Structure 1
């Protein structure tokens, strides 16, 4: 499963694969070549700092290349949620930060030749019972400074699915996120920065000289930015303050002359009322997303993916599916991004996370905040970047939002206990094609799957904090239900706070296999 963006990227990036001069000392090492890392790297390079960006997979290969790429300040029910939890001033500042990020994006894309389509963003209620929530969002967005429209019924757009009401915001943006990422990477290289793909960062030593440990040697630096979705270092305890969320997407080819929505849509209905949906157009395609859940905690991920096809074929019968994929993002316990120092004792290692699926603007804001902090531009500009205090990673997340913190971590505990109950069973025969099972073998927990006719057995224990893994039938991967690490069927690390592949495990002798 891969995204439309990654499948159709215009040309491969000029990769610097598996080679890095460990004798050099860059001013900044950035871990993660997604939007956050690339914006931070570019702004640091523009400030005259030497930059090295590392990514185990490649530019935009993970979250950035899997998003719908809707850059908007109207983000579902986000503004009203922030106003309720943090007050109207916080909501106003959040909107201002996102507006500034959107302006930065437009300016960069114009200069780099990245095509941007201006669209109206719509937050919609599919069911009448959600209209009260929708109206609260309209009021909060207006109070926060957005020029929004609220109305019952559907907007003046081609929308064949039910809409009970909408909030609309004009002049928002959509684009190809891989084109954007490649353009950012190109400018970083032009300014002398290095982008090293295929090299995994496995740890950072902060005692004495700041040293980054990679699969191809150690790098000494002055600052480290962990732009990895969730921090790969546990020192700040952010794995307990962030919740990993997975959502599903599909692209559909649209025949010439076929009507499709022009705007960008996201629904705010609760899942028990109507399925979550996100829509936008792309050249020759319609993108449909939804059915999100906490990583590793969906009973049937294949059904989540299949439902998008069924729903779309019902309301858009002329389109045909071309791509299916899913994406991962993180939400903080208080609903705001976390940007800043990994620990309160030092700002040598910086992080950014918690965009809650609105990374196209929040990632840009985070990258700029971190770059300014690193380059000390705040002293020259007379103040810190907007959002630096609101998003500060060292705010008292657990204290200020203790109920959310307790609930989030109680769910983690319940799933940890639940997953270990799977060890009561042995496996008499290999799983069928596309299936995976956690079971006992030689008194050890192992994970066995069959993918493309090959049965593989690996350790069932996540190397991050030793949780038992769950099989993701939609993507044929092993997912951690605690903190969101994910692994391929052969144990290769895909994403998450883990930094190592799954350990190998002996293959059982299946009944009737002849082994």
Structure 2
């Protein structure tokens, strides 16, 4: 598979404004790191309150996690409410649902306020089974009970109403879908008169105590620093409570049969979600799912192939030219970490696969904290909560996994002549002069050689063949073939090595 990763959202969203690179020195009330839905929502709320806000985006607005999402907005969670209720209790489950519903309402109100054209529609959310097992039947019963207790009025259906056979479905109404990249790009354009927005301005250093952020061309001093980066950039203990995963999405034109609107999550393994989208008179269908640990699978192409097979076996699609990858960080106890850390830094992380809604909610909570307002959900998601019983199993499993990545020796401890055996378009980690190096051979047979040691906490990166990236298996940092940081928590690039 030699396709370049590109989402359907990126191909159908116009670039409205290009924001400058940050240069110089500046003092501000609030510095926001990250220009996705979380950062931009916080920038909107805080600038509306009269705060002096500056936002730094490492790449271009929305092309991180937001532009590689599903565009689904819902009150439930991907771990499922019945699981959340068992891990916590019914009151916590209800609070999660009400907080996420409030976030979806804020998105809807923002769209109406600024007349944002992003295909926002209220839609049903449906869990469906293509074949029934005892486990699936039991889950549907438990989830129905949890949804009912949460006040979401679920109904059990004989089938999901999809254009292929399904056996049983569980549905709730009044959830939503939109075009995530159109939303954030238009929102950035609308609020840019009240706050400063910069693109291609990656933070390379952060002094939390002094409130100083450095980019390649400038320096900012801020009273408050918001990390809207999906996981905190830099080294923090909270990263031991976060497990990085990736999952892919694929999309294709679909002319017939008609695919209904709505959010559809499959219950059979491997789990996939499907949805439709219409652009300029053309219908599309997309499938997302089958997540895997970041940096721990060299053969990532099998996940893309699995998604393509899922669609082609059920629908008359052939032009599967869109595929993309998205990163998620899953917390140890099933809830995000949102709020103040230390004197001036704010974390917003651990959203799992629910980031569009949780990111908006995080911006609401943190903005209220900065403005001195009370927030009903601040305590529920606080960064400093300690939940040893609810976190223990996941914490132990994930951190044993991280330890294994530190201790293992990659299997390419070979002579430099092995460089000639790397095929064009492939990457390998090898031992060269007693040092781990990451080697990529491009289609023109040029070698790109960088250190294989992640600059975050010294794990050895692994090759991601589908996306042509070097991914860290410990805390999820990702780098391009020339060692440039794609996403944190790493702040520094992988050092370039000479051939």
Give the structure-1-normalised TM-score.
0.90
Deviation sequence 1:440-488 (CA, Å, 0-9, x none): 1112111111233332111111111111111111111111111111111
The yes-or-no answer on 1:335 pairing with 2:324 is: no
Shift in CA distance, 106/469, structure 1 to aligned 2, threshold 3 Å? same
Q: Distance in 1 between matches of 2:344 and 2:16?
A: 30
- The Cα shift of 1:371 comes to 0.7
Q: Distance in 2 between matches of 1:280 and 1:397?
A: 35
- The Cα shift of 1:319 comes to 4.9
Could you tell me which of 177, 181, 187 is aligned with 1:174? 177
Question: Within 5 Å, which residues of 2 pair with 1:349-364?
Answer: 349-364=345-360
The yes-or-no answer on 1:432 pairing with 2:433 is: no
Question: Within 5 Å, which residues of 2 pair with 1:74-473?
Answer: 74-113=76-115, 114=117, 115-129=119-133, 130-151=136-157, 153-155=158-160, 157-160=161-164, 162-191=165-194, 193-207=195-209, 209-235=210-236, 237-255=237-255, 257-269=256-268, 274-283=269-278, 284-342=283-341, 346-376=342-372, 378=373, 384-398=374-388, 400-418=390-408, 420-422=409-411, 424-427=413-416, 428=418, 429-453=420-444, 454-473=446-465
Is 2:68–2:324's contact at 8 Å kept on the other side of the alignment?
A: yes
Q: Distance in 1 between matches of 2:8 and 2:337?
A: 29
Q: Distance in 1 between matches of 2:175 and 2:336?
A: 21
Unmatched segments (≥5 aa) in structure 1: 379-383, 508-515
- Give the match's secondary structure for 1:221: strand
Instruction: Write out the 4+ residue segments of structure 1 that deviate beyond 4 Å after TM superposition.
Output: 397-400
Deviation sequence 1:306-357 (CA, Å, 0-9, x none): 1111221111124521311110011100010110123xxx241001011111
Deviation sequence 1:135-177 (CA, Å, 0-9, x none): 21111111112121123x312x2331x5332211112111110
Is 1:472–1:479's contact at 8 Å kept on the other side of the alignment?
A: yes
Unmatched segments (≥5 aa) in structure 2: none
Shift in CA distance, 201/317, structure 1 to aligned 2, threshold 3 Å? same
Is 1:278–1:290's contact at 8 Å kept on the other side of the alignment?
A: yes
Is 1:254–1:320's contact at 8 Å kept on the other side of the alignment?
A: no
Is 1:430–1:450's contact at 8 Å kept on the other side of the alignment?
A: no
Is 1:75–1:123's contact at 8 Å kept on the other side of the alignment?
A: no
Is 2:162–2:259's contact at 8 Å kept on the other side of the alignment?
A: yes
Is 1:460–1:468's contact at 8 Å kept on the other side of the alignment?
A: yes
- The Cα shift of 1:493 comes to 1.1
Is 2:252–2:319's contact at 8 Å kept on the other side of the alignment?
A: yes
> What root-mean-square deviation, in Å, do the aligned CA atoms of Structure 1 and Structure 2 show?
1.7
Aligned to 1:510: none
- The Cα shift of 1:36 comes to 0.7
Is 2:405–2:460's contact at 8 Å kept on the other side of the alignment?
A: no
Q: Distance in 1 between matches of 2:159 and 2:319?
A: 25
